[in-house]
């Protein structure tokens, strides 16, 4: 299982796909293609877990929660303003792999495992917590807005925008 360091996404209009790059804390980079269906399913899974598993007072981030998130990121030596740097090694190669299925399972109380199934019976798994899922919901919503898919992905939380960098059709989560 890998711990996520950074996420970078581009919408590719010609194949109508999302190019998703994930760098892990062990300096690996994984490159994926997400279809509209997989992107929406991923958002639905994140939304289901975040809404059902968070206490009512935790569903919306408040100022202190944002500060706690910044402190967590800072403790990992990651800057919210830092550009996406990727990883030094590419265990699956530099070419993107089409995600054919996704699964989100319980690992520990506040930690889930996100599994991406790829063609050829390969899979890659990442640890995600509830706060990361909430930020990724915002990330996926920004991508679908750029893609003009006109689907509702999660709640719009403008105060999380500071964790997202949007340049033309590129989005990076730090």
Q: Would you tell me the crossing angle of helices 63-75 and 130-147 to the nearest 10 degrees?
A: 100
DSSP 16: T
Q: What's residue 164's pLDDT?
A: 45
DSSP state string for 71-98: HHHHHTT--TTPPP---SB-TT-SS-EE
* Averaged confidence pLDDT in the chain: 77
Q: Which helix (H) or strand (E) holds 8?
A: strand 2-12
Q: What is the pTM of this model?
A: 0.73
Q: What's residue 158's pLDDT?
A: 46
DSSP state string for 66-78: HHHHHHHHHHTT-
Beta carbons of 115 and 124 less than 8 angstroms apart:
yes
The per-residue pLDDT for range 72-89, each reduced to its tens digit, is 545 554 455 578 888 999
The per-residue pLDDT for range 85-125, each reduced to its tens digit, is 889 999 999 999 999 999 988 888 778 899 999 988 899 99
């Amino acid at each position: 299982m890998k711990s996520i360091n950074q996420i970078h996404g581009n919408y590719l209009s010609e194949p109508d796909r999302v190019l998703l790059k994930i760098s892990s804390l062990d300096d690996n980079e994984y490159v994926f293609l997400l279809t509209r269906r997989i992107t929406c399913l991923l958002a639905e899974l994140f939304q289901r877990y975040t809404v059902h598993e968070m206490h009512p007072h935790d569903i919306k981030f408040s100022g202190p929660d944002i500060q706690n998130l910044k402190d967590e990121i800072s403790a990992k030596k990651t800057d919210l303003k830092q550009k996406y740097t990727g990883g030094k090694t590419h265990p699956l190669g530099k070419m993107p792999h089409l995600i054919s299925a996704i699964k989100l399972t319980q690992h520990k109380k506040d930690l889930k495992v996100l599994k991406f199934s790829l063609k050829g019976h390969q899979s890659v798994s990442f640890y995600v917590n509830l706060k990361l899922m909430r930020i990724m919901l915002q990330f996926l919503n920004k991508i679908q807005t750029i893609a003009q898919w006109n689907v509702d992905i999660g709640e719009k939380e403008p105060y999380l925008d500071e964790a997202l960098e949007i340049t033309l059709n590129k989005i990076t989560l730090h």
